[in-house]
Every structure is written in structure tokens, then in C-alpha cells.
Structure 1
């Protein structure tokens, strides 16, 4: 029996500089409510992919969509307020 050996390193080394910066982590944290709301909407939509949606499914999808839109609106308003306070271009 002949053994086969890999020619490369078994584990690819993690190069420096690929980790997210503090600003990127802060942006992700700031957007987390929207990310979670989008995941809830996606879960509701996936649940009815292989069957006809019931009335409860429809309510769940509408509720998740409204929540996602409300969170998006709030984050947009917060971003606009920050830009307005810092004197950014409008």
C-alpha cells in the first residue's frame, strides 16, 4: 500500500492583518439589530418554501418584515443624526 502525503502545510497560516479592525467590529455591533431582524424574516420565508403558507405563516412574515423595516429606518435615522451633528455633507 502506498501512502499519500500532502505537499502543502496541513493548516493554512493566518496572515496578519486579516482580522477585523475595531471600527469594523463596532460597525457590525451597530448593525446587529438589523442583521437579527433580517435573519428572522429569512427564517419565516424559509419555513414556507415547500408548502402553502397558512394564515399564521403570513402573519409571521408580515411581522418580521415590519420589524426589519422599522429597525432599518431607526438605523438610517441614527446615521443621519450623527452625520448632521458632525457636520458631514448632506
Structure 2
């Protein structure tokens, strides 16, 4: 039987094996308030799946939705600088 594997080890890493770049980490950091608000909304929605919704639960849900909308608005109103583009 003939072996058909690679004869040498790969010198450069594949694209999917590398970690995030500094620009990608900055983008994640900029979106983190929105991500946290969406997770909080999801937590409230999950908590309400198996029980009747009370008045307090309705307030929690509305507050969580408002936080998501506020975070989206804040992210949309930000100005991002793209390196090498424009003056």
C-alpha cells in the first residue's frame, strides 16, 4: 500500500487557524454593549418561556428590549475610521 500523506510539515498556518486580528478585536469590542444587551434580552425571554407573564416580567422584557434598541442606536451613530480610506 502506498502512503499518500504530506511529505513535509506545513510551514504557514491556514487562514482558519489564526487568531483574530487587532482590527477584528476592536470591532468586537465596539459591538460588545450590543452583544451584552442582546444576551440579557435572551435571558429574560428564556425565563418567560415556561410561566405566565406577570406585570413585573413585562417591565423586565420592555427594559431589556429598550437596552437593545439603545445599544443598536449608539452603535449605528458611531463613526468608524477605516485605515487607508479617505483623507
Same fold (TM over 0.5): yes
The answer for the alignment partner of 1:11 in structure 2 is none
**What CA deviation, in whole Å up to 9, does each residue of 1:64-86 have, x standing for no partner?**
000110110011011xx346xx7
SS of residue matched to 2:40: helix
Is structure 2 residue 52 aligned with structure 1 residue 48? no
Query: What's the TM-score once normalised by structure 1's chain length?
Result: 0.69
Give the total of aligned pairs.
69
Query: What's the TM-score once normalised by structure 2's chain length?
Result: 0.71
* Structure 2 runs not aligned, ≥5 long: 1-11
Structure 1 outlier segments of 4+, above 2 Å: 15-18
The answer for the alignment partner of 2:71 in structure 1 is 71
What is the CA RMSD across the aligned residues, in angstroms? 1.9
User: Between Structure 1 and Structure 2, which shows a larger proportion of helix residues?
Assistant: 1
